[in-house]
Amino acid sequence: MTEQPARPTSRDVARAAGVSQATVSLVLGDKWRGRVSERTAGLVRDAAHALEYRPNLAARSLRLGTTRTALLVVPALTNEFFARVYTGAAEVAAEHGFGVVLYPSPAGVGPARDPFASARAALDGVIASSMATQALDAIRGADLPLVMLDSDPDAPGAAARVNLDIADGIRQVTEHLLALGHRRLLHLASAISSWTFDIRATALAEAVRNVPDAVVRTVSAPLDVGAGREATERALSAPGPRPTALVCDDDILAAGACKAVRRLGLRVPEDISVTGFDDLALATAIEPELTTVSLPAERVGERGMSALLAVLDGRRPEPGDLPVSLVVRASTAPPPRDA
Amino acid sequence: MTEQPARPTSRDVARAAGVSQATVSLVLGDKWRGRVSERTAGLVRDAAHALEYRPNLAARSLRLGTTRTALLVVPALTNEFFARVYTGAAEVAAEHGFGVVLYPSPAGVGPARDPFASARAALDGVIASSMATQALDAIRGADLPLVMLDSDPDAPGAAARVNLDIADGIRQVTEHLLALGHRRLLHLASAISSWTFDIRATALAEAVRNVPDAVVRTVSAPLDVGAGREATERALSAPGPRPTALVCDDDILAAGACKAVRRLGLRVPEDISVTGFDDLALATAIEPELTTVSLPAERVGERGMSALLAVLDGRRPEPGDLPVSLVVRASTAPPPRDA
DNA sequence: ACGCCGACGTTATACGTAAAACCCCGGCGG
DNA sequence: CCGCCGGGGTTTTACGTATAACGTCGGCGT
């Protein structure tokens, strides 16, 4: 269209600097110590700068057999948590001259197309959220370095893992509620992956273990506000003594839960306490502001990318889970006296 | 690490099929009508399938001088609206064998690094939200096809534009409020780009033009809940008759506004009506559920990508703004009688 | 009987980069 | 005086693909 003025190549730079193309490549690749004089290197850099030379990435990838591109597989970008993970991953990728391309799950794009297969030859590695279960099998077949996020340590095929200390988060909320005096808890779980469910459920069970009169019920719901509201409404109108606190696996569910509580003519937190998980923007947008577990989402992305880079370098990725922290806000309070 | 078994090349396929590499390229590129026999083509395809051949994208890009990759520039992915735009763009891109890579604004990544410059040689075009103003200048210098989203039609350098009919959205909310009987409106604007501000402000002014006793005040705030709350709180406690309705430029601000209203001991919508913009998930997560303007965010991305593809093909992009629609929920009601 | 053509492929080349292999020359140790 | 070494480059090649240019061969029209 606009008649591109033909982007300059390394050969153009060489011509301008009065050297050979190889020299340009050496200088610009910082591989010239002792092979090229300081003066010549300067000439090359000046010429490159003057021509606004940018190396052709396709050519470089072809030559090097590497693309400096990682694939990030997430269930959905519209989930703030994963958007933040991307941000973190992209940040450290950029620091190392890498790019991050997204594969927002098989649900996001049509099932027929397979961005992964077509991108496969152009990738150096994959970072995958374990929640995107469907995509994982395809990836495993590709013998690419794979970093898994929040995954079952027993699941195979990962060169590295970065996990959040989810169990500790659940433990913290639970202890917070127990300390406030709550004894009847309802666990509102998001039906995402069986592993994340299990780890939360057992952490919760463990936390109430030494509180003799504590009792926990569990219901699960798809991850959206409406579903959370409905599930909660159903659970709270069930016969038997009503729970006084709701432990939700996600702020989104917690928001739904709050709505349900109020629909039933009750108040949060006076009648029923509600806790969330993730500490999304949503947590402080609703009323009352949610007591929730804050997750370092960006850090997950950063660690994921760092781990991938480490694997690619043959180094050992940094071990250990990422810590989470309880944020107490206004959605939790002692249970009503008559309860 | 894992000793990759050396991905098969087109030459490997050729060897397996007993033909030359050129023939493989012809067959797999669907350019063989009348140049290769049906039988040979079959052999080639079988061999390719058997070897699980995937073309090397870097090599193809180098040869073709095209990367089938577009850059999407957005202010922040954590904003649900832009995450949805990405989703739409990625969808139609995939349908045409294109990829979409993100540049989440200069604020997201450090100022020193310039992903755009380094990616520049590897891009076929750019789709940019006008809100990412800082990045635009750099892009213009790159003489790449540029599609602008929600941009001033007078701004230069765009090969195509896709705009939402924002003005109509504002008109619709305003008329809704006027019909309910509101006369004193407060416009809570998000200080994003001067163009989007202007278009909204004038649309609002126009909508109240023929309602003689209607009066509009404007305040603006950064785009987050807390800022929205503070700005609203200040504006509502100012001297003079209090507005009965708040027209917010974004659901996020509207959420803040609702909190502010309640802090002042008033109710939404009985004392003050609040409207949002965007129809994010947030709109139905808070209470009361927001009356807001629903934007087809995915469509923006789809149209943006389609337009870019059209430009690259030398075709004319589809003209016209995308329609928006008012969604009336529970945050608007007639003003109190004594007002 | 010859030329020509169409069907079916093949050979050769270019894309821009990185790096291995090579080359030249001045100085220095033996 | 010769060989060798190291500094400072250059020549050449390979990466995998797409495609232009080139062959070959059988048949058919004249």
Q: Is the pLDDT of residue A339 over 90?
A: no
Query: Does A62 map to a domain?
Result: no
pLDDT tens-place string over residues B76-94: 899 999 999 999 999 999 8
Q: How many domains are contained in chain B?
A: 3
pLDDT tens-place string over residues A250-263: 999 999 999 999 99
Task: Quote the pLDDT of residue B112.
Answer: 38
Question: Stretch A118-144: mean pLDDT, rounded?
Answer: 75
A66 touches strand D (CB under 7 A): no
- Clarify whether residues A315 and A249 are in a common domain: no
Residue A141 belongs to domain spanning: 69-163+298-321
Task: Quote the pLDDT of residue A211.
Answer: 95
**At A45, is the pLDDT very low, low, confident or very high (cuts 50, 70, 90)?**
very high
Query: Does A337 map to a domain?
Result: no
Q: Is the pLDDT of residue B108 over 70?
A: no
Query: Does A255 map to a domain?
Result: yes
Rounded distance between C-alpha atoms, residue A320 and residue A101, angstroms: 26
Q: Is the pLDDT of residue A118 over 60?
A: no
Query: Does A329 map to a domain?
Result: no
- Clarify whether residues A154 and A302 are in a common domain: yes
Task: Quote the pLDDT of residue A282.
Answer: 97
Q: Is the pLDDT of residue B110 over 50?
A: no
Q: Which residues pair with A103 in a beta bridge?
A: A73
- Clarify whether residues A155 and A178 are in a common domain: no
Task: Quote the pLDDT of residue A112.
Answer: 38
The answer to whether the CB atoms of B113 and A119 lie below 8 A apart is no
Q: Is the pLDDT of residue A132 over 70?
A: no
Nearest nucleotide (CA of B58 to C1')? D16
Strand D bases near protein CB (under 7 Å) are 6-12, 14-21
Q: HSE-up of A242 (CA within 13 Å, CB side)? A: 16
CA-nearest of A176, A183, A319, A167 to A243 is A183
pLDDT tens-place string over residues B138-165: 777 777 899 999 999 888 889 999 999 9
Instruction: Report the residue of chain A nearest B252, measured CA to CA.
Output: A285
> Which three-class secondary structure string do you get for chain B?
CCCCCCCCCHHHHHHHHCCCHHHHHHHHCCCCCCCCCHHHHHHHHHHHHHHCCCCCHHHHHHHHCCCCEEEEECCCCCCHHHHHHHHHHHHHHHHCCCEEEEECHHHHCCCCCCHHHHHHHHCCEEEEECCCHHHHHHHHCCCCCEEEECCCCCCCCCCEEECECHHHHHHHHHHHHHHHCCCEEEEEEECCCHHHHHHHHHHHHHHHCCCCCCEEEEEEECCCHHHHHHHHHHHHCCCCCCCCEEEECCHHHHHHHHHHHHHCCCCCCCCCEEECCECCCHHHHCCCCCEEEECCHHHHHHHHHHHHHHHHHCCCCCCCCECCEEECCCCCCCCCCCC
Question: Stretch A118-135: mean pLDDT, rounded?
Answer: 76
Q: Is the pLDDT of residue B115 over 60?
A: no
* Residues 62-81 of chain B in contact with strand D via CB under 7 angstroms: 62-64
A63 touches strand D (CB under 7 A): yes
Question: Stretch B100-111: mean pLDDT, rounded?
Answer: 61
Task: Quote the pLDDT of residue A305.
Answer: 97
- Closest Cα of chain A to B119: distance in Å? 8
A17 touches strand D (CB under 7 A): no
Query: Does A35 map to a domain?
Result: yes
The answer to whether the CB atoms of A91 and B108 lie below 8 A apart is yes
Q: CATH number for the domain including A45?
A: 1.10.260
Other Cβ atoms closer than 10 A to A251: 28
Query: Does B4 map to a domain?
Result: no
Task: Quote the pLDDT of residue A143.
Answer: 78
Q: Chain B interface, mutation test: which of A286, A289, A295, A311, most B Cβ atoms within 10 Å?
A: A286
Question: Stretch A77-91: mean pLDDT, rounded?
Answer: 94
- Clarify whether residues B125 and B142 are in a common domain: yes
pLDDT tens-place string over residues B203-242: 999 999 999 999 999 999 999 999 999 999 999 999 999 9
Q: How far is the CA of A35 from the C1' of C28 (A)?
A: 21
- Clarify whether residues A133 and A281 are in a common domain: no
Question: Beta B245-248 vs B146-149: how paired, if at all?
Answer: unpaired
Query: Does B337 map to a domain?
Result: no
**At A4, is the pLDDT very low, low, confident or very high (cuts 50, 70, 90)?**
low
- Clarify whether residues A150 and A175 are in a common domain: no
Nearest nucleotide (CA of B35 to C1')? C8
- Clarify whether residues A291 and A302 are in a common domain: no
The answer to whether the CB atoms of A57 and B286 lie below 8 A apart is no
Q: Is the pLDDT of residue B105 over 60?
A: no
pLDDT tens-place string over residues B37-80: 999 999 999 999 999 999 999 999 999 999 899 999 998 899 99
Q: How far is the CA of B64 from the C1' of D16 (A)?
A: 12
Instruction: Report the residue of chain B nearest A257, measured CA to CA.
Output: B285
Q: CATH number for the domain including A257?
A: 3.40.50.2300
Query: With contacts defined as CB-CB under 8 Å, which chain A residues touch B300?
Result: none
- Clarify whether residues B133 and B113 are in a common domain: yes
The answer to whether the CB atoms of A159 and B86 lie below 8 A apart is no
- Clarify whether residues A212 and A187 are in a common domain: yes
Query: Does B1 map to a domain?
Result: no
- Clarify whether residues B272 and B315 are in a common domain: no
Q: How far is the CA of A36 from the C1' of D10 (A)?
A: 12
- Clarify whether residues B289 and B176 are in a common domain: yes
CA-nearest of B338, B305, B331, B307 to B320 is B307
- Clarify whether residues A100 and A119 are in a common domain: yes
Residue A135 phi/psi, 5-degree rounding, is -75, -20
Task: Quote the pLDDT of residue B332.
Answer: 98
Q: Is the pLDDT of residue B120 over 80?
A: no
Rounded distance between C-alpha atoms, residue A275 and residue A330, angstroms: 10
The answer to whether the CB atoms of A117 and B54 lie below 8 A apart is yes
Question: Stretch A264-288: mean pLDDT, rounded?
Answer: 97
**At B315, is the pLDDT very low, low, confident or very high (cuts 50, 70, 90)?**
very high
Q: Give percent of chain B above pLDDT 70.
A: 92
